Amino acid sequence: MDKLQSAEYILTTTRAVRKRLDFSKPVERELIEQCLEIALQAPNGSNMNTWKWIIVDDRDKIRKIAKIYDQAMDDYVTILGDATGDNYMGSHIPGAENISESVDYLRKHLAEVPAIAFPLLAARLEGASVFYQASLWGSILQSVWSFFLALRTKGMGSAWTTAHLFREQEIAALLGIPANYTQVGLFPIAYTLGTEFKKAWRSPVEDVLNWNTFKE
């Protein structure tokens, strides 16, 4: 059986892909729509379908998005630390150097991606209760990850990015997003250079699992 059709393989090897995105190969709209059709089968609160998706494949708009993203990354660095240096907030994590290089690579090459996805939540969460926030995020995050998995089965990849939200209103103005919608993230879409990906480093189960009572 093709490994890309194995659920366990897909679930354990779907990575954030940046340096292995193939900028030279166009991505067919039909395939993106197929992936989104799969993603929309994800569970969501009361089946209210409180989501919209914008897929951008217009080259001029992608270039403008990339410019905003680059400026937003400057904001990110100012607040959270240089994504390519020792001050990066995740510098202590195994493989952090590769991660930071990958982040910087996407920043420099975002204008070259074939398409970008923007999932939108039909609500704002400022000042919302924990219950309301959990309910709303729990009505779209599953769909976004299902979209990643669907891309993987078709030889494509993406990366979960949110840095552009430092310039959320600029993106909203460019794409005509109403003020009552929340941008969940910015997700580049491209075929990957090869389809072999490995499991990533993660904390072992025994370090994160608690039975019945929380422990540090």
Closest Cα to residue 159, out of 79, 96, 103? 103
Structure tokens, 180: 């009552």
Domains of the chain: 18-208 (3.40.109.10)
State the pTM of this model: 0.90
Which residue type does 7 have? A
State the burial class of residue 211 (Cβ atoms within 10 Å of its Cβ: 0-12, 13-18, 19+). Answer: exposed
- pLDDT (tens place) for every residue of the chain, 216 residues total: 577 778 999 999 999 899 999 999 999 999 999 999 999 999 988 888 889 999 999 999 999 999 999 999 999 888 776 655 555 556 677 766 677 788 889 999 999 999 999 999 999 999 999 999 999 999 999 999 999 999 999 999 999 999 999 999 999 999 999 999 999 999 999 999 999 998 888 899 999 999 999 988
Residue 28 token pair: 């067919």
Name the nearest CA neighbour of 109 among 11, 202, 188: 188
